[in-house]
Structure 1
Amino acid sequence: MAERGRAPDPANMGVRSPNGGSKSSQGEDYEEIVNLEDEVFNPNMTSFKHENVEDLYELLEKLGSGHFGVVKKCRQKSTGTYFAGKFIKTRKCKGSRLGLDRDQIEREVFILQQLEHPNIMRLHDVFASKAEMVLILELIRGGELFDFIAEKEALSEEDAIEFLEQILKGVTYMHTCNIAHLDLKPENIMLQEKDVPHPKIKIIDFGLAQKIEDGAVFKSLCGTPQYIAPEVINYEPLGPPTDMWSIGVITYILLSGLSPFQGETDQETLTNVVSGNYEFDDRIFKQTSELAKDFIQQLLLKDPRDRMTAVECLIHPWIKPLNRKQAVNRSRSSINMKNFKKFNARRKWKLSYNMVSACNRLCRMKLLCNPMKDEEELWGTAETNVSTDRTFQQNLKAV
Structure 2
Amino acid sequence: MAMFKPENVEDLYEIGEVLGSGHFGEVRRVRELATGTLWAGKFVKLRKTSCSLLGLERSRVEQEVEVIQALQHPNIVTLKDVFESRSEVVLILEIVSGGELFDFIAEKEMLMEDEAIEFMKQILDGLGFMHGKNIGHFDLKPENIMLSDKKAPHPQIKLIDFGLAHHFVPGEEYKSTSGTPQYIAPEVINSEPLGTAADMWSIGVITYILLSGMSPFQGHTDEDTLRNVLAVDYEFDTQCFSTTSSTAKDFIQKLLVKNPSDRLTAEESLRHPWIKPLTRQQKVNRNRSSINMKNFKKFNARRMWKRSYNMVWICNRLVRLKLLCKGSSDAPESCTPSV
Same fold (TM > 0.5): yes
Q: 1:176 — aligned with what? A: 132
Structure 1 residue 362, shift from structure 2 partner? 3.5
Give the superposed CA RMSD: 1.4
Choose which of 92, 114, 138 in structure 2 pairs with 1:158: 114
Structure 1 residue 98, shift from structure 2 partner? 3.7
Q: Structure 2: give runs of 5+ residues left out of the alignment.
A: 328-339
| Correspondence 1:352-363 to 2 at 5 A | 352-363=308-319
Choose which of 147, 162, 170 in structure 2 pairs with 1:206: 162
Q: Distance in 1 between matches of 2:202 and 2:183?
A: 5
Q: Distance in 2 between matches of 1:238 and 1:370?
A: 38
1:241 aligns to 2:178 (yes or no): no
Choose which of 226, 230, 235 in structure 2 pairs with 1:270: 226
Letter in 1 for 2:254: Q
Q: Deviations over 1:183-217 (max 9, x none)?
A: 00000000000011110000000000001111111
Q: 1:77 — aligned with what? A: 33
Choose which of 23, 32, 38 in structure 2 pairs with 1:67: 23
Structure 1 residue 291, shift from structure 2 partner? 0.3
Structure 1 residue 360, shift from structure 2 partner? 2.2
Q: Deviations over 1:41-83 (max 9, x none)?
A: xxxx111101100000011111111222111100111111110
Contact kept in structure 1, 2:53 and 2:318, CA below 8 Å: no
Q: 1:189 — aligned with what? A: 145
Choose which of 33, 51, 58 in structure 1 pairs with 2:7: 51
Q: Distance in 1 between matches of 2:324 and 2:174?
A: 39
| Correspondence 1:1-399 to 2 at 5 A | 45-94=1-50, 96-365=52-321
Contact kept in structure 1, 2:137 and 2:166, CA below 8 Å: yes
Q: Distance in 2 between matches of 1:366 and 1:222?
A: 23
Contact kept in structure 2, 1:72 and 1:84, CA below 8 Å: yes
Contact kept in structure 2, 1:94 and 1:101, CA below 8 Å: no
Structure 1 residue 94, shift from structure 2 partner? 5.0
Structure 1 residue 93, shift from structure 2 partner? 3.3
How much identity, in percent, do the aligned residues show?
Answer: 66
| Rg larger in structure | 1
Letter in 1 for 2:98: G
1:51 counterpart SS class: coil
Q: Distance in 1 between matches of 2:250 and 2:24?
A: 42
Q: Distance in 1 between matches of 2:169 and 2:121?
A: 27
Q: Distance in 1 between matches of 2:315 and 2:173?
A: 37
1:219 counterpart SS class: coil
1:341 counterpart SS class: helix
Q: Distance in 2 between matches of 1:216 and 1:370?
A: 40
Contact kept in structure 2, 1:229 and 1:245, CA below 8 Å: yes
- Larger CA deviation: 223-232 vs 360-369: 360-369
Q: Distance in 2 between matches of 1:56 and 1:357?
A: 36
Q: Deviations over 1:271-323 (max 9, x none)?
A: 00000121111111111100000000000000000000000000111101112
Contact kept in structure 1, 2:124 and 2:270, CA below 8 Å: yes
Q: 2:330 — aligned with what? A: none
Structure 1 residue 130, shift from structure 2 partner? 1.1
1:213 counterpart SS class: coil
Q: 2:337 — aligned with what? A: none
Contact kept in structure 2, 1:191 and 1:199, CA below 8 Å: yes
Structure 1 residue 361, shift from structure 2 partner? 2.6
Normalised TM-score (structure 1): 0.80
How many pairs were matched up?
327
